Structure 1
Amino acid sequence: MIKIIAVLCSLAAPGSCHEQLVTSSDFAEVSVQSCMMGAPQLAEWMNQHPAERLAGWRCVIGQQSGRGI
């Protein structure tokens, strides 16, 4: 399973950024290559979060531990 961790920054406070696990049924079949290239589904997900700017993302294979994500 591939997880996408997005780094999001508030448009109202650009210095206020956080990581968030991107979850969607669209991401169930994301390949490593697609994730590394930006996963087209990520743009659709961002359209649902207009108050935030995507500052970056990373792809995680399997379980993520240590950061609470």
Structure 2
Amino acid sequence: MIAKNTDLTKISTGAKLTRAERVDAELRHLAAMNHAKLRAAQADHQRRGISPRVAIGCAHIPAAVAQTFAYIKVA
């Protein structure tokens, strides 16, 4: 079976993926790698006692900045 975060370009299935499917698979793979790297960095920061300067969600955001990012799709 396919393991989590497996690079689909290295698996021979006998079926050809479309370009869109290959791009989607590559983006999912990169997103998983980035998430793993982020978690590793956060664990390293926690071991070293480094914390964010401002607690997330507690800082004031200027109206001009809030308007710019108000309609960006996150998911």
- TM-score calculated relative to the size of structure 1: 0.20
Which structure has more helix as a fraction of its residues?
2
Bigger Rg, structure 1 or 2 = 2
- TM-score calculated relative to the size of structure 2: 0.19
Which structure has more strand as a fraction of its residues?
1
